Amino acid sequence: MSRMRASAMSPSGRSHSARPCREGRPLLLALLATACVAGLAVVAPAPAGAAPLPREKPASLIAAEAMSRLDERRVTTTRVLPSTDIGDLVDARSSAAAAPAGEVYSSFAAAPLPRPAPAERPVVVAAAPVELASAPSGLSPSAVRPSAVAKDLFGAMRAPAPLAARSIGSYAKGCLAGATALAVDGPAWQVMRLSRNRNWGHPQLVDMLQRLANDAPALGWNGLLVGDLAQPRGGPMTSGHASHQIGLDADIWLTPMPGRALSREERETMSAVSMLKGSSELPGADRGVDPAKWSASRARLIRRAAQDPRVARIFVHPGIKQALCRFETGERGWLRKVRPWWGHHYHFHVRIACPEGSVGCKDQDAPPPGDGCGRELAWWLSDEPWVPKKPKKTDKPAAPAKKKHMTLAALPQACTEVLVAR
């Protein structure tokens, strides 16, 4: 014991362990003095006009503020139906992704991630998957939303969807995948109004037009001047047509192709010629064709078009239908396809049936039996379809109806895929 105590002593006989205690006393006293001063500062009132001393935030307040900042990133979403759009803007990758329909759940917002189409959604082309993450150049991805005006979206497309050819929907509510362009110049045709970029169609329509053009010279018709077919991806047009949306409609002028190539400017400014004697909207008007303009070669051209088994209907003015009924002296079955309609006195409108393989394409009902040259045509040539009835004095003027534009949501779901395919 004495040996241990001796080892702890310095040669002078003082303990080394006692020095730190004496040296630490000033530090301890300083800390105690600081605490006392701080206590007095809290208890004693501050002099008038003095700035308050800073105080540390309580831990509970710090935690509350942290939770508040966390809540700013929280997104509450109500799932009503399974997604049918391009993708959700909120990444519900945790329990929220499995939330049942109608359940309100919360998740934290992340960078928007695209989601593929649901499994039950129609596939445009199985062999060519559609990239839903982005839209083609010239169309902002944010613009592709269900409430967007469809004609603005499809009218902005300059190139076809790189998919297998398919007409989707109905003639006045649909779109076109894998469109083929009719060449602007052919051996026996020229495309008009090139600035519209509407010389696109289903390959079957393009083939039908080329065959008709090749047959035209033998019918006494030099060649075709072709008007509108469809936009590169079909869909509603920005002007002019309610139909022509699925690449199965084409307008053919009743003016023959000249013996030279028209310039681009001529194709924009040249006017088609009406076949009628005058206006159809006057009471008691003669709504027949003008013999000085109408010809048997025009009748032969329309007959040849109607004889193509792919053609479902041909729309013409009732006066032209009347001329065709008088023209045919033999087999009249093709006249059933020729349907009277408003307008169509300077061109005829060819419509082919849904091609094989166009899943989701909707044909019209077949025309009524017969050649259509009887009572139905007589009604079309009367005043009733053309001359508006005079309103009764007791009738209040109807308020002008606001025109509603077709939205993307109104088209088949597959049209969204056609729109954004690249």
DSSP per-residue codes, 382-408:
SSTTTSPPPPPTTPPPPPPPPPPPPBG
Task: Identify the band that residue 25 occupies on the pLDDT scale cut at 50, 70 and 90.
Answer: low
pLDDT-derived band at 364, boundaries 50, 70, 90: very high
Higher-confidence residue of 38 and 157: namely: 157
Between the CA of residue 407 and those of 33, 139, 240, 315, what are the distances in Å? 78, 16, 17, 27
In tens, the pLDDT along 57-112 reads: 444 444 455 444 444 434 333 333 333 333 333 233 333 333 333 333 333 333 33
Range in 41-45, 197-201, 250-254 with the lowest mean pLDDT? 41-45
**Average pLDDT along the chain:** 76
Q: What is the pLDDT of residue 422?
A: 87
Give the strand pairing for 224-226 and 311-316: unpaired
> 260-269, 317-326, 386-395: which has the minimum mean pLDDT?
386-395
Whole-number Cα distances in Å, 87 to 112, 309, 407, 417: 8, 42, 18, 12
- Go through the chain and tell me how many residues it has: 422
Question: Cα separation of 264 and 245, whole Å?
Answer: 25
pLDDT at residue 44 is higher than 80: no
Check whether 421 has a pLDDT greater than 60.
Answer: yes
Which residue in the block uniquely carries the two structure tokens 């009743």? Answer: 254
Look at residues 145, 86, 88, 153 and name the one whose alpha carbon lies nearest to residue 121.
Answer: 86
Report the pLDDT value the prediction gives residue 92, as an integer from 0 to 100. Answer: 35
pLDDT at 32: 53
**By C-alpha distance, which of 187, 169, 185 is closest to 177?**
169
Q: Quick one: pLDDT at residue 391?
A: 72
Contacts of 355 (CB under 8 A, 6+ apart): 165, 167, 202, 203, 204, 248, 310, 361
| Higher local confidence (pLDDT), 349 or 11 | 349
Residue-wise pLDDT for 219-248, tens only, equals 999 999 999 999 999 999 988 788 999 999
- What are the domain boundaries of the chain? 161-380
- Phi, psi for residue 246 in degrees, rounded to 5: -120, 15
Q: Out of 16-30, 195-209, 228-242, 338-352, which region has the weakest mean confidence (pLDDT)?
A: 16-30
The overall pTM is greater than 0.85: no
pLDDT at 281 over 60: yes
Question: Which range among 259-263, 301-305, 318-322, 387-391 shows the weakest confidence by mean pLDDT?
Answer: 387-391
Residue-wise pLDDT for 141-180, tens only, equals: 677 889 899 999 999 999 999 999 999 999 999 999 999 9
Lowest mean pLDDT among 29-33, 102-106, 213-217, 349-353: 102-106
Tell me what percent of the residues of the chain surpass a pLDDT of 90: 59
CB proximity list for 150: less than 8 A, separation 6 or greater: 235, 236, 405, 406, 407, 408, 410, 411, 415
Strand pairing category for 347-352 and 249-253 = antiparallel
Tokens for 59?
Answer: 């831990």
Q: What is the mean pLDDT of residues 386-407?
A: 77
- pLDDT tens-place string over residues 170-193: 999 999 999 999 999 999 999 999
CATH of domain 161-380: 3.30.1380.10
Q: How far apart are CA 233 and CA 246, in angstroms?
A: 8
Q: Side chain identity at 77, as an amino acid letter?
A: T
Q: What is the mean predicted confidence (pLDDT) over 337-345?
A: 96
Pick the closest to residue 144 from 157, 153, 133, 136 (CA basis). 153
